[in-house]
Structure 1
Amino acid sequence: MTKLFRVEIESISSSKSRSDFSEVDLDLVAEKILESGGIIKPLVLKKTGFEKYEVVEGHFEYYAAVRAYEKNNHETEVNAVVISPESEEAVLKQVEAFRKLEKSNQPITTTSPGTNTDSRLTSLELRLENAINDLKTEQKRDRQKFEDELKEIKGKRSKSMAPLEVFNTLNIVELTFRLKSAGKSDKDAVKIAESIENERQKREFNSLSDVVARVRISHGKGMQKGISSEKMVEIIDSWSKLSFN
């Protein structure tokens, strides 16, 4: 099983020598790592001890990250896939298969060594630039999504519900909450909300006065108005001062 971690650069070692890679290439990629805020391609590591790791794949990327750390010691960690001992053999076979595939897909060129170096640098720059542009596009898309959601929330908040609409549309739970917020006791709020629900199933309320006239709750052995005219004024005034989502 493989897992993705943030691993301290200083806890990683490589079986390959840094001298196997061009310092010019490493320096170039290190700059791109610093520009983009981290290494894009995760290293493949295996654990060799307590908080100690060895590079399985990504030796060049590892040394580029080391160079980035040398330039700016704030870049202390890299993204890495840490393979477990039981999956190591399978992962190594996969890595080898990808290496062979990449090698077989490389075009044959007859250019001079100097041209090869320039082409390799240009290719690295283009790949890193494309990756950075992809990240910027994704960030822009996420920012736009956040702004759209924020705008939608603000729109919902700014759209206040008329009192009569409250009595005609909100469910019992929401009605109970609003009545309690206006000063009704828990028990009375539930009774009034249930009465409102029963009455509007017969027909919608056509005015606040209609609500006052039709909504009745039990009181002792008899029935009484659930909301008096005076209390209705207090409720509407209370709701006007509160913001409901």
Structure 2
Amino acid sequence: MVNAFVIAPKLEDLVLKQVVSLQKTDSSGKTAILHPETTKLEPRLANLELRLEKQFNEFKSELIQERQRIDSQFKQLENLIPQKGEQSNPLSLLNSLNKDELSIKLQRSRIPGAEKLAKAIEDARYKKPKQEFEDYRDVVKSVKNLGDKTILTIIDEWSRS
């Protein structure tokens, strides 16, 4: 338990003057000798400074950790956003989309047998050494039931979107 007076900042100077004048005179009206209280306050102030510094350093450390976490999440989000070149490059889409995504994209392009073709593209891609197609001729050669006209339609449709 701590005995304390809460004083508004506006009234602080006035209260200090009153305390000083009360300390100078005791109840008998004689001037009292003031004992410097600074010797008692110095360790307390030093302790307060240390505690404040410790809390400040903890806060700073938490802030740094939070910033690193946010930077990490931001980089992850940036990696999810397709690059401009990737959006218009059908070959990169053929190399990166999974079967379901390929199927949806092929259906939107009105390619007949989109689901079977998507599975065939994914299967052919996984049989490749680097698990990706080198060029469009490689796609046509590797994927069964994919002709020149179909790959041209895919390239045209996907290049527009």
TM-score, reference length from structure 1: 0.39
Q: Which amino acid aligns with 1:176?
A: S
Aligned equivalent of 1:174, options 92, 101, 111? 101
The answer for unaligned runs of 5 or more in structure 2 is 8-35
In structure 1, what is the equivalent of residue 154 of structure 2?
232
In structure 1, what is the equivalent of residue 51 of structure 2?
127
Contact map agreement 1:209 1:229 (CA 8 A) in 2: no
1:39-58 correspondence to structure 2 within 5 Å: none
TM-aligned CA distance change 1:146 to 1:189, over 3 Å: same
Contact map agreement 1:212 1:228 (CA 8 A) in 2: no
In structure 2, what is the equivalent of residue 144 of structure 1?
68
In structure 1, what is the equivalent of residue 42 of structure 2?
118
CA offset digits 1:21-64 (Å, max 9, x no partner):
244xx77xxxxxxxxxxxxxxxxxxxxxxxxxxxxxxxxxxxxx
Contact map agreement 2:106 2:154 (CA 8 A) in 1: no
Aligned equivalent of 2:3, options 14, 21, 25? 21
TM-score, reference length from structure 2: 0.54
Q: Give 1 or 2: higher helix fraction.
A: 2
Q: How far 1:115 moved relative to its partner?
A: 1.8
TM-aligned CA distance change 1:227 to 1:188, over 3 Å: farther
Q: Which amino acid aligns with 1:183?
A: S
Aligned equivalent of 2:109, options 183, 203, 220? 183
In structure 2, what is the equivalent of residue 197 of structure 1?
122
Q: Which amino acid aligns with 2:120?
A: S
Q: Which runs of 4+ in 1 moved over 6 A?
A: none
Distance, in Å, in 1 between the alignment partners of 2:61 and 2:126 is 52
Number of residue pairs matched?
128
**Bigger radius of gyration:** 2
Aligned sequence identity (%): 28
Q: Which amino acid aligns with 2:121?
A: I
TM-aligned CA distance change 1:226 to 1:176, over 3 Å: farther
RMSD between superposed Cα atoms in Å:
3.8
Q: How far 1:123 moved relative to its partner?
A: 0.7
Q: Which amino acid aligns with 1:141?
A: Q
Distance, in Å, in 2 between the alignment partners of 1:190 and 1:22 is 78
Q: How far 1:237 moved relative to its partner?
A: 1.0
Q: Which amino acid aligns with 1:190?
A: E
The answer for unaligned runs of 5 or more in structure 1 is 1-15, 28-111, 218-223
Aligned equivalent of 2:77, options 153, 165, 169? 153
CA offset digits 1:93-150 (Å, max 9, x no partner):
xxxxxxxxxxxxxxxxxxx964233211321232023202311331133123313432
